[in-house]
Chains A and B, each alone.
Chain A
Amino acid sequence: MMPYDAVKSILVLIALLASFGVFGWRCYLALQGLRRGQSTPAFGGWGERIKGLIVYVAAQLRLFRFKAPGIAHFFVFWGFLTLSLTILQAILEGLLAYTNPHFVLPLIGNFGPLALLQDLFILCVALAILYDLYLRLIVNPERYKGSHKSQGLMVLMFIFTIMLTLAVTNGIRINLNDDLLQRYRPVSTLIGGLFAGLNPATQTIIEETAYWIHLGVVLLFLTELPEGKHFHIVTSIPAILLRNLEPRGRLPAAPEFEGQVGVKQVEQFRWRQMLDFYTCTECGRCQDMCPAFASGEPLSPKLLMMSLRDHLKDYSSASLPTRSLIGDAVAPSTLWACTTCYACDQECPLFIERIPLIVDMRRYLVNEGEVDALLQKTLANLGRYGNSFGQSERMRAKWTQPIQPVIKDARKEAVEYLWFVGDYASYHVMFSDITRKTAQVFQKADLDFGILYDAERNAGNDIRRVGEEGLFESLAEKNSAAMDKCKYNTIITTDPHTYNTLKNEYPANGNHHAVLHYTELLDQLIASGKLQFNKKLGYKVTYHDPCYLGRYNGIYDAPRRVIRALGCELIEMPRHGDRAFCCGAGGGKIWMEEQPEVKERPAESRVREAAGMSGISTLVTTCPKDLVMFRDAVKTAGLEGKIVVKDLIELVSEALELCKETVREQM
């Protein structure tokens, strides 16, 4: 009869071949959809990409935004790397059981400190897994809703079993004096102690059983990898390496397919986008941060990724795809729910980008005319009059009428600063007085500035994000042509949305002037002493970071420095900085009909957050749309008298004691 060691070698070989075969085949099946994807522009910036691997894969930086789960994952990840050597050891000692019964990995196999590290990681990983089980089973946070729960639990059990059986194998070897590095394995020694009373033969049987369970679960896990969220173990490295390095505020151009604009079928996404479908770990951090989800709209960024993955799998395996991408896999209402606030993409540990996917599908819908009545009317107004208010372009500069001295017409004379005022700041009744205050502050600072008067059009940031690429292009061409005729050095904007597209997307039209948000300009004027305040306001305020200023363009400090320079005390809301909660207006949402599913409007949630802070009287914003949304929300949420919403410029104007000269606004 064949000796056991020979049988073991053969069985290990068969198990290896089988599991790697299944793993390879399943990878091939899972990823064959990618081959149908569109080409992706060449990847440059390799230094930055490699750095990303160190920061976001090795150091797991983004995972710590959720502290405890982040730490648990950190240990599981590093445990996996460190203990992959023990897995290699287990495989090789099995393969060589007959020919080389006491095999250890050359060099590292006899290195005590590594053995100690590995032994400690067994404990750390096991503890991390117990925490994860507690998280999934007891805490069960909302963000896991809709994720594959049994799959998640199965993987946790796999890892726990792998740790336990490794400790048992090591421990019994220590008991049987079969381990030269035993003094480096305190955890295994402790576990081995549980079996020390048994006779050596029984211990050997237990050790051998533990070995088989260990190897078996490792190989089973391998075959399961391509089947679900744990596939990220494979895909996360290319996903982070090949992440988008373009500015966040620059959307990729609209894909076109023989007269069709945008994406109608899943194979019209780029293969790099498809890789993200498989990389999603269903962790739900995106969903936790999503204002649309929080308000009850039919969008979960996580479920969106999962449906795209499922749809791509179906699409690439079926010979005749029957389900449509838009409609069956993803509901149009899901696509229209997005405010493009970037909270989801900011949170994703794996740099998955959902917004470009959503916009590509919106582009298809818009091009087919499938838009709601209000959005249709607004787009028609934007096309005809260049503003979303449906007013004549001749009225754009009407707000300037009472201002003395008259604001320069940048089309007629050279100016230092070209002020791109924007739709809301020009036309909205609630904002025109604030816009006049802005002009007065600029004049007080002796700024050499001018505006485009009726040559200005909506800059198109949100038109682009709604999916009306042609209209965006047409408005961008008109604005660029008007600006090209002016002599100026720097563009200033009131609206962060305008700021974003002028700064990040207009360079494609040949406009390479520096762009400043007015808060950046104020910050500079204060620093250089050109703007000095007569009085200290002494208010206790909180500040809302507009999505397109903060998350999209990283401007968090300038407005805060201005607030402090005014002599105000700034208290942060729980959700601030890159976790600021969107007002719900962005991405063209402000132009769409409200969905009946909405439980609590994002703007109301936000003003409640601000009003709930003790001693805060004022919510400061630096975006016209925020101001309009929040002032409205203060009324609908019944918070009048509890909190006042102000644009930063109103406080600046007050500190400069300019407000007497302007028409008193109506609150």
Chain B
Amino acid sequence: MNIVALFKLVPDLVEELEIDGNGTALNMDFLRLIINEFDDHAIEQAILLKERGGAQVSILGPDIEGVEDVLYTAASKGADRLIKLTGDFQGKANNHAMARAVTSALKELQPDLILTGVQANTDLDGSLGPLLAEYLDMPYVGYVSGVKVADGKVITRKEYPGGLVAEMEIKLPAVLGIQAAEQPPRYIAVAKVRQAMKTATIEVRTLAESDLSGGSTIRRMFKPEAGTRAEMIEGSAEEVTTRLLDIFKEIGVL
């Protein structure tokens, strides 16, 4: 079985975020990037599936600062192929463009299962998984926190608010948006990553040209601004109700 885990690098929130001069994007000069936490779970889930039933695991990520660390760490966990995608990442914040651009690289790998994080803090135009599924013409399930493989299909575990859990059977090939791997991503000792740097090779694929259509356009990006303060209504239940009714009338909803 061919499993592909796709990851993004997102701003590390340890650093203070700054808005650039145009007021429409983050200032990238002081940003450092870190693997999207959900994608880290997707990689872990891919490795768990390989350990349980055997699979060829490929890890794909954009060729920007920090990509090699993620890839070598994944190799130490047991990933078989490491691929970085070079190209124009101007549309970093645009998942539509990203999904279109990686389609051909993904197809070439002939995956049975594509795992990616269910969300990221840069998802301005929806999450990547469903878009990938659309362009690859595959089924998609998101918010997955457990995967079992049974010939030609997978059974996914998906948690709903309120404590409900659903198990869904999906025909392969498919795309899954991983919320949590069945166990937290494991620790990889520095010595093992260093070992992987010596032995593992990273393949390079060139992305198709960015097509930004379909994504969202940012008009203004700004830090949370303090709004006018809330008014606390005090008194007995009756007094509060009377005051509330007055307010509703004042603003014209009654």
Contact = CB atoms under 8 A, between A and B. Distances in A.
Given A385-B14, A392-B15, A394-B15, A469 B191 contact: yes
B197 to A, nearest CB: 11
Given A369-B186, A371-B187, A379-B187, A470 B192 contact: yes
Contact of B189 (A261, A373, A392): A261
B190 interface: yes
A535 to B, nearest CB: 43
Max chain A C-beta neighbours (<10 A), residue from B34, B190, B193: B190
Nearest to B190: A470
B184 interface: yes
A390 interface: yes
B195 interface: yes
A366 B15 contact: no
Nearest to B185: A376
A367 B186 contact: no
B192 A367 contact: yes
B14 A367 contact: no
A259 B198 CA distance: 12
Contacts of A112: none
Nearest to A389: B14
Contacts of B64: none
Contacts of B192: 367, 470
A471 interface: yes
Interface in B156-212: 184, 186-195
Interface in A374-425: 376, 379-380, 383-385, 390-392, 394
Is chain A's interface secondary structure helix, strand, loop, or mixed overall? Answer: helix
Interface in A632-666: none
Contacts of B186: 369
A366 B189 contact: yes
A373 B190 contact: no
Contacts of B191: 261, 367, 469-470
A468 interface: yes
Contact of B190 (A371, A383, A392, A394): A383
Nearest to B30: A394
A474 interface: yes
Nearest to A390: B14
A474 B188 contact: no
Contacts of B15: 392, 394
A379 B193 CA distance: 14
A490 B167 CA distance: 64
A394 B14 CA distance: 10
Contacts of A261: 189, 191
A469 B194 CA distance: 12
A622 B184 CA distance: 38
Nearest to A469: B191
A38 to B, nearest CB: 19
A367 to B, nearest CB: 5
Contacts of B34: 384
Nearest to A381: B14
Contacts of A468: 189-190
B142 to A, nearest CB: 25
Interface in B217-241: none
B187 A376 contact: yes
B75 to A, nearest CB: 13
A366 B189 CA distance: 6
A392 B184 contact: no
A366 B187 CA distance: 8
Contacts of A384: 34
A373 B192 CA distance: 19
Contacts of A367: 189, 191-192
A63 to B, nearest CB: 41
A404 B188 CA distance: 43
Interface string B30-63: 0000100000000000000000000000000000
Contacts of A392: 14-15
A631 B192 CA distance: 38
Nearest to A371: B187
B187 A369 contact: yes
B232 to A, nearest CB: 29
Contacts of A471: 189-190
A398 to B, nearest CB: 12
A35 B90 CA distance: 64
Interface string A359-372: 00000001101010
Max chain B C-beta neighbours (<10 A), residue from A259, A379, A383, A390: A383
A385 B34 CA distance: 11
Nearest to A375: B187
A650 B193 CA distance: 43
A391 B189 contact: no
B157 to A, nearest CB: 21
Contacts of A379: 187
Given A259-B195, A373-B184, A470 B14 contact: no
B117 to A, nearest CB: 17
Contacts of B184: 373, 376
Contacts of B14: 385, 390-392
Contacts of B188: 369
Nearest to B32: A392
A468 B189 CA distance: 7
A667 to B, nearest CB: 29
B180 to A, nearest CB: 14
A469 B195 CA distance: 13
Nearest to A367: B189
Contacts of A470: 189-194
13 contacts: A259-B195, A366-B187, A367-B189, A367-B192, A369-B187, A369-B188, A373-B184, A385-B14, A392-B15, A469-B191, A470-B190, A473-B190, A474-B190
Interface of A: 259, 261, 366-367, 369, 371, 373, 376, 379-380, 383-385, 390-392, 394, 468-471, 473-474
User: 4 nearest interchain CB pairs?
Assistant: A470-B190, A470-B191, A471-B190, A369-B186
Given A384-B34, A468-B189, 5 more contacts: A261-B191, A367-B189, A369-B187, A471-B189, A474-B190
